[in-house]
Amino acid sequence: MRVLFLGMMSIAISVVSTSSLSAAEIKTPRAPGSPPAAPGVAKPAPAPAADKKTETAVFAGGCFWCTEFAFEQLAGVIDVESGYCGGTKATANYERVHRGTTAHAEAIRVTYDPEKITYDKLLDVFFDSHDPTQVNRQGNDEGRQYRSAIFFANEDQKKQADAKIEVLNAKRVHKKKIATKLEPLTEFFPAEAYHQDFARRNPLAPYIQHHAVPNGLQVRSKHPELMRKED
């Protein structure tokens, strides 16, 4: 969801520098105090309104709390929604997905204004917001639901993503080759309501402090020209 990001980020920055986490807290893939997963299936969101000024991109880069947090700070990004992608409607709920036994990945759908930010720039942010060399994991979060993937909606997105990976590998930006998978976008299923804007609503949660905030700061450091101004 679109938020007033800068104020919340300043609060998170002041805490992460002094935060002390136990090993148990670091390994916990969900912050303490989170409500239990809602039963049932997450409903597919309606397609965005026909508007030539907006486009969408779907990325998976580990926990969707972290990727949502990273993209919300970008100028030109209108909305970021956490959800599930790659699997079926029947398994599109956290209770099933977090076990790692479905085809789903935790993903985000980014709605953006292409006149203010391009898909190419979103790809840059995507590859800088997580470790794209890890296979079926991000840090202590393990399982295929945490895989690095780009769900392309058309051939143009696929070509741009392919080209970006080729450049990153050629320049040896990472010590290992990019493991990000390109998967055709079939359907995106929004996650349960309590997952939406989780970092914004829980900036002091240990998991957010240890994972989402550092990732968000890394994006800000590498792409200062892409940051949204104070609203």
In a domain, 91, yes or no: yes
- Find the mean pLDDT for residues 150-175: 97
Treating both helix axes as pointing N-terminal to C-terminal, what angle do 119-128 and 213-222 enclose, rounded to 10 degrees? Answer: 130
Q: What does each C-alpha distance from 37 to 2, 99, 155 come to in angstroms?
A: 23, 12, 35
Distance, CA of 72 to CA of 131 (rounded, Å): 19
Out of 46-50, 154-158, 161-165, least confident range = 46-50
Q: What is the mean pLDDT of the chain?
A: 84
The percentage of the chain sitting over the pLDDT mark of 90, rounded to a whole number, equals: 75
Cα(71)–Cα(19) distance, integer angstroms: 23
Q: Residue 52: which pLDDT band, with cuts at 50, 70 and 90?
A: low
Q: Which domain holds residue 177?
A: 5-30+51-224
| Count of the separate structural domains present in the chain | 1
Q: Please write the tens of the pLDDT for every residue from 72-105.
A: 999 999 999 999 999 999 999 999 999 999 999 9
User: Active site includes 85?
Assistant: no
Calpha distance 51→31 (Å, rounded): 37
Q: What local confidence, expressed as pLDDT, does residue 229 receive?
A: 85
DSSP of 14-45 = HHHTT----HHHHH-SS-TTPPPPPSS-PPPP
Residue 40 lies in a domain: no
Residue 43 inside a domain? The answer is no
In a domain, 145, yes or no: yes
**Given the residues 3, 31, 60, 63, the one annotated as active site:** 63
Structure tokens at 10: 């300043």
Pairwise pLDDT comparison (35 vs 211), residue with the higher score: 211
Domain assignment present for residue 153? The answer is: yes
Q: Is residue 35 included in any domain, yes or no?
A: no
Q: Would you say residue 157 lies in a domain?
A: yes
What does pTM read for this prediction?
Answer: 0.81
Q: DSSP of 70-98, one letter per residue?
A: HHTTBTTEEEEEEEEESS-GGG-SHHHHT
pLDDT at 19: 41
CATH code for the domain in which residue 64 is found: 3.30.1060.10
**What SS3 state is found at 220?**
helix
pLDDT tens for each residue of 29-50: 444 344 444 434 444 444 445 5
pLDDT band at 9 (very low <50, low <70, confident <90, very high): low
Is the pLDDT at 190 greater than 70? The verdict is: yes
The answer to whether residue 188 is domain-embedded is: yes
